Structure 1
Amino acid sequence: MKPSLAFACFLFFVTLFAFTVFSFSSEQPAVLCHSDERLALMQLKDSFIIDKKALAAGSCAYPKVDSWDSQSIDCCSWDGIECDQNTGLVIGLDISSSCLYGSINSTSTLFRLVHLQKLNLANIHFNYSVIPYALGNLSMLTNLNLSRSEFSGQIPSEISNLHRLSSLDLSYVDLASPIPSVLANLSSLTSINLNYCGLQGMFPLAIFQLPELETIRLVNNSDLKGYLPEFNFSTKLKELALGNTNFSGELPASIGNLDSLEYLGLYNCKFSGSVPSTLGNLPNLKYLNLGSNSFRGLVPPTLGNLTKLYKLYLQSNYFTGVIPSELTNLTQLTDLILFGNMLQGSVPSSISRLEKLKFFHCDDNRLGGLLEMDAFLELKDLQYLFLSLNDFNLVSRND
């Protein structure tokens, strides 16, 4: 056989083999869900009724479980179900905002779905059931969302068994209880949202030290006490939202080590003392709200280093001294709120540099002297300007 003919035959057989393998693989049947998990899902569906009036108007999207049919072999195709493509095991369940009403406990067939990685039960009326301790048996969970669901009672300590958990959202669940300290065992946690939970007692300091944590939201828990620990090293923390809580004490100077921080909301708490100059060491900070506390002393000029900042709220404290001219370095600012302090001097004439400023409130201070209104006329985006309850002499360059 000539070499060219032999090579042509070789190519033919290689192509034929590849085509056969491709055809065989493409004809493999899709992996179906497991019958025991399909049964567990059907029993879960049957444990609820569909009631579009069970929750507040607008919180019920549509009843996802209507697509769940016992005659359907493959539950992986049902609405709200995610399966592993290779094994057919149910790894995701999202029945949020599905107009469901009914009680649930740790005997629910939900907890037979032991391979779940994502569980979203937000906006479901659970008839004020206690949060089931069996959630702690779902050891594969990475995301757990129970927000705005009608549970009651406290966070079960068994949740601390979820060592893979990355995101925990219990916001707007009426817990009315302390936070279990064992949550500090969740070493994989990146986000914890406990806004509007009626939390009580002391916040466990160890949670602040979780190595992967990026977001802490504790807003509107007026009976929750706590203070900020020393931050002796840089962390991944990007958002720290403690507004409307009973946190108190002074801000540690080591807060300046949180160089990933983008959002710091400490408004309407009981913080006191001076604001550390190290706050100016946070290069990524975009939102800073220290309003309605008992901070004293000078506004740190180092805040002028926060060049990404677009909202600065320092209202209703006891700040003294002048408005630092360094604040006019913050050229991204849209909101500068300083009312209700004891600031003196005048408004820096360089405020005209804040070209994006929309809201400027410096009313109810002890400011005075000549104030050139022309500086404000240059701020084309300015919508609200509050200067009252001071002692300014307003002048114009044309006077």
Structure 2
Amino acid sequence: MGLSISLFMLMHLLALLSLYNLMFASSSFVQPLCHDDESFALLQFKESFIINQSASYEASAYPKVSSWKLESDDCCSWDGVGCNKDTGHVISLDLSSSCLYGSINSRSSLFRLVNLQRLNLSYNDFNHSRIPVGIRQLSNLTHLDLSNSGFAGQIPAEILHLSKLVYLDLEQNLLKLQNPGLRSLVEKFPNMKELYLTQVNISSTVPNNMANLTSLTSLVLRECGLQGEFPAGIFQLPNLEVLSVRFNADLTGYVPEFNRSSPLKRLRLAVPSSLGNLTELIYLDLSYNNFTGPVPSSFGNLTKLINLDLSYNNFNRGTLDWIGKQTKLMKLGLENLNLNSSIPFFIRNLTQLVDLRLSKNGLHGSIPNWMWNSSKKSLQNLDLSNNFLTGFHQLPVILPWTNLRGLDLSNNKLQGSLPIPSPSIITYSVSNNTLTGEIPKMICNLSSLDALDLSYNNLSGMLPDCLGNLSFSLSFLNLRRNNFNGKIPQICKKGSRLQMIDFSQNQLQGRIPRSLVNCTMLETLILGNNQINDSFPYWLGVLLELGVLILRHNQLQGAIGKPKSNFVFPNLHIVDFSYNSIIGKLPLEYFRIWKAMQIIGKNGPIYMQANMSFDLLGYTWNSGYAYSMTFTNRGIEIAYERIPYIFIAMDLSSNKFEGEIPELMGNLKGIQVLNLSNNLLTGSIPSSLEKLTALEALDLSQNKLSGEIPLQLTQLTFVAFFNVSNNHLIRPIPHGFQFDTFQDKSSWIVWKSFAKEMWKFQGLIAPSFKSRLKVAI
């Protein structure tokens, strides 16, 4: 009986233990909700920014914070937010490529997330603000990534309080690391594993104590202004796999001998022959070092290489045949090596290539047929630009690389018809060749195309109507200086992504297509030097991003008229309607509302361009297609290869404008070039032009202006070109400031000839020329 009771009690106890374990196991799977104070802090952080698609230029960028909602009771489920499974505290925040625009101050609610261990704010635009000193409050951080995010100024000393950091990426900002400097950083982070400081202005020697960072696996100090001798002990760090110190012109030192046990897998610096001992090496980048002489024969031992870049050196081209042994190569960079040959035959053995770049090599002859089978299915990026290639040995209907995403054949001597890549293509440039014939309609099947540049060829015929089908993917479309004729097709459909359209220097006729109003992202429209017969396209004013509008040398007629609202063309800062037949008075009402011309200087990128990217071998391949234009500046027609964002100019010359120059024109304070010449303008030169303090060139010649040149214009200290000739003005020329520096005619002619070349390559006049002035009356 006692035994039965004992057995019953034991079974009962086991049942209770099983029930307890079941209850405990069930409860362990219930993750606690996000803490209210942290949820509120995140929402406050979200509200401190503007969501702007242009703040993140990667193709995969999207606003992660758009999923953050007040009504959602668990911030741990929000995009980019990670929480501790046991406590519910926010421990990671990844808002990379989230289209955030604005700044972060030390009072930001971000710094209330004191449990954060990982913070990634890369690839946003924080508008040249400083890294806030409040960062010290995030003392639990182990990973901090602020790369490519628009921060500027000195890196604050408070970052040294983040003693747990093992990963730090501050690359490609406008930052300085000088007080504190690199030595302090090394001392405070002895356990650092990955350190990325590309383009951070360090301007110091590399401290010897960096060789004590035994946990370091990646060290990237590219383009940092480093000086003195590089500590050789860094090469011997036991865990170092990635080392890059390129583009530090004042950095010296030597590379020690390597043994086979070295963990290095990625190396970017000068090269010894003993590198051939690194038989496990899979990544070797020796580009941009200007090496001369032969490539060490020992490199033939590096048969496991997947990534090899020898670009921008002067190696003996006869010592590169060993590359054919690297049959596992996926990325090969051989740019600017002065090969001066046909396409190297050793490439035929490389059947797994994904990225092949052979630009600037003096390559000549035709592209051989054997390339069709070289990496036919794997090749995604091919750059043969800036050579002397004459065409394809046998041009197929569609180029055979079935997964090609980037193709650059520009600046060659290609003849024949336009090559058509596979439908996978994203960026395609064949500019500056001698291609002939029409654009095949097959090009409209390239539904992933982001950039298309066919400029400076001899292509002809009418533009295919189906080009409008590409507007859903295209950002950049350049057909400049060909022989196209007929009407411009309805290029834009609703949902268009086009940012730049250039159809200039062709023989296009008819009207400006009204479908352009669907191009809501359009920044630059250049239709100059055609035969367009239309009135002023006031309806383009709804394009809020439009900054450059060039319609010069066409057959525009009628008056500009009045704007339909007070919010049209808000970003327009370059206008060229010259050499048309526009009549009536100068558009006073437009001058009043063109806000972008009323600002001196702007924050943001230096040049206007369309950015595009795609994934390639685990990294993001980025490319920027710069906008270009032809514009008359200081009496000279200049080809701007890049358009500065801060350039503000207006050319209404060679039309039939009449009446007086309005006083309101003085409100366009940011304008640098103003050309109203060769019109029918009357009255006096308004003294309000003295407000144009950024003005560098003013041309009012060949009108019917009268009176004196206002004395106030002598205050325009940046003026380098001033032409009021062929009017009815009364002498004398005012004296004072810049007006006293003009040269006689012979001196001006010599200077103008020289300056023309400077403008051609620089896009803007060099400051040293601003003391010269032409005054013609």
Structure 1: distance between partners of 2:293 and 2:251: 15
Q: Using the alignment, how far apart are the partners of 2:380 and 2:573 within structure 1?
A: 38
Q: Does 1:298 align with 2:490?
A: no
Partner of 1:95: 286
Specify the code of the residue in structure 1 equivalent to 2:264.
S
Q: Do structure 1's residue 382 and structure 2's residue 572 form an aligned pair?
A: yes
DSSP-derived class of the 2:382 partner:
strand
Secondary structure at the aligned position of 1:245 is classed as coil
Distance 1:271 1:131 in 2: 40
Q: Are residues 319 and 152 of structure 1, via their aligned partners in 2, closer, same or farther at CA, if it must alter by over 3 Å?
A: same
- Using structure 1 for the length normalisation, give the TM-score: 0.75
Q: Which one is further off, 179-188 or 280-289?
A: 179-188
- Give a deviation string over 1:262-321, Cα, whole Å, max 9, x none: 000000011100000111111211000001000010000143457100000000000000
Q: 1:134 to 1:65 in 2, by over 3 A?
A: farther
Q: Counterparts in 2 of 1:142-153, with a 5 A limit?
A: 142-153=330-341
Give me the whole-angstrom Cα distance separating, in 1, the residues matched to 2:359 and 2:343: 12
How far did 1:230 drift?
6.3
The residue identity in structure 2 corresponding to 1:100 is F
- Pairwise CA distance, 1:173: 1.6
Give, in whole Å, the separation in 1 of the partners of 2:280 and 2:250.
23
Q: Is the aligned partner of 1:240 residue 2:436?
A: no
Find 2:496's aligned residue among 307, 322, 345.
307
Report the equivalent of 2:417: 227
| CA distance in structure 1 between the partners assigned to 2:335 and 2:252 by the alignment | 19
1:262–1:287 CA contact under 8 A, matched in 2: yes
Q: What is the correspondence of 1:248-267 to structure 2 with a 5 Å cutoff?
A: 248-267=436-455
1:191 pairs with 2:410: no
Q: Do the aligned partners of 1:229 and 1:252 also contact (CA within 8 Å) in 2?
A: no
Distance 1:253 1:319 in 2: 18
User: Residue 174 of structure 1 corresponds to which residue in structure 2?
Assistant: 362
Which residue of 2 is the match for residue 76 of structure 1?
263
- 1:131 & 1:197 partners in 2: Cα distance? 21
Kept in 2: contact 1:80–1:95 (CA 8 A): yes
Question: Per the alignment, in what secondary structure is the counterpart of residue 135 of structure 1?
Answer: helix
Query: 1:116: how far off?
Result: 1.0
Aligned partner letter, 1:380: P
The Cα of 1:112 is off from its aligned counterpart by 2.2
The answer to which structure, 1 or 2, has the higher relative contact order (CA under 8 A, 6+ apart) is 1
Change (3 A) 1:199 1:226: same
Structure 1 residues 124-157: Cα deviation after superposition (integer angstroms, max 9, x where no partner):
1114x24734422211000000112233212123
**SS across alignment from 1:268:** coil
Does structure 1 residue 368 correspond to structure 2 residue 554? no
Deviations 1:61-102 (A, max 9, x none): 569996642264534337618xxxxx9722111111234211
Structure 1 CA distance for aligned equivalents of residues 520 and 479 of structure 2: 20
Q: How many residues align?
A: 335
Q: Does 1:214 align with 2:414?
A: no
Deviation at 1:253, TM superposition (A): 1.2
CA contact under 8 A between 2:557 and 2:582: conserved in structure 1?
A: yes
The answer as to whether partners of 1:263 and 1:287 remain within 8 angstroms in 2 is yes
Asked if structure 2 preserves the Cα contact closer than 8 Å seen for 1:254 and 1:278, the reply is no
The residue aligned with 1:139 is: 327
Aligned to 1:125: 314
Distance 1:394 1:239, change over 3 A: farther
Q: Deviations over 1:30-50 (max 9, x none)?
A: xxxxxxxxxxxxxxxxxxxxx
**Partner of residue 531, structure 2:** 342
The structure-2 alpha-carbon separation of the partners of 1:198 and 1:76, relative to structure 1 and needing over 3 Å to count, comes to: farther
Alignment partner, residue 583 of structure 2: 393
Cα distance in structure 1, aligned partners of 2:319 and 2:411: 21
Deviates further, 273-282 or 368-377: 368-377
What is the TM-score when the length of structure 2 is the normalising length?
0.40
**Partner secondary structure for residue 308 of structure 2:** strand
Q: Distance in 2 between matches of 1:225 and 1:358?
A: 35
How big is the alpha-carbon RMSD for the aligned residues of Structure 1 and Structure 2? 3.1
8 Å contact 1:63–1:100 — kept in the other structure? no
Q: Is the 8 A contact 2:429 2:452 kept in 1?
A: yes
| Structure-1 separation of matches of 2:578 and 2:537 | 17
Change (3 A) 1:134 1:109: same
Q: Provide, for residues 318-354 of structure 1, a one-character-per-residue CA deviation record: whole Å limited to 9, x for no partner.
A: 0000011111221111100000000001133211111
**8 A Cα contact 2:327 2:349, kept in partner:** yes
* Greater mean alpha carbon deviation, residues 59-68 or residues 142-151: 59-68
Secondary structure (helix, strand or coil) at the match of 1:110 reads helix
Percent pairwise identity: 28
- Cα distance in 1 for partners of 2:580, 2:319 equals 53
Deviation at 1:122, TM superposition (A): 1.2
- Structure 1 residues 312 and 306: alpha-carbon distance in aligned structure 2, compared to 1, 3 A threshold: farther
Aligned AA (2:323): L
Return the alpha-carbon distance in structure 2 between the equivalents of residues 123 and 154 of structure 1: 18
Preserved CA contact (<8 Å) 1:285 1:306: no
Which deviates the most, 314-323 or 371-380? Answer: 371-380
Alignment pair present for 1:160 and 2:348: yes
1:254-333 matches, cutoff 5 A: 254-282=442-470, 283-305=472-494, 307-333=496-522
1:66 to 1:191, Cα distance in 2 relative to 1, 3 A: farther
Taking the aligned partners of 2:332 and 2:420, their CA distance within structure 1 comes to 29
Structure 1 gaps of 5+ residues are 8-58, 82-86
Deviates more, 1:280-289 or 1:301-310: 301-310
Preserved contact between residue 131 and residue 155 of structure 1 (Cα < 8 Å): no
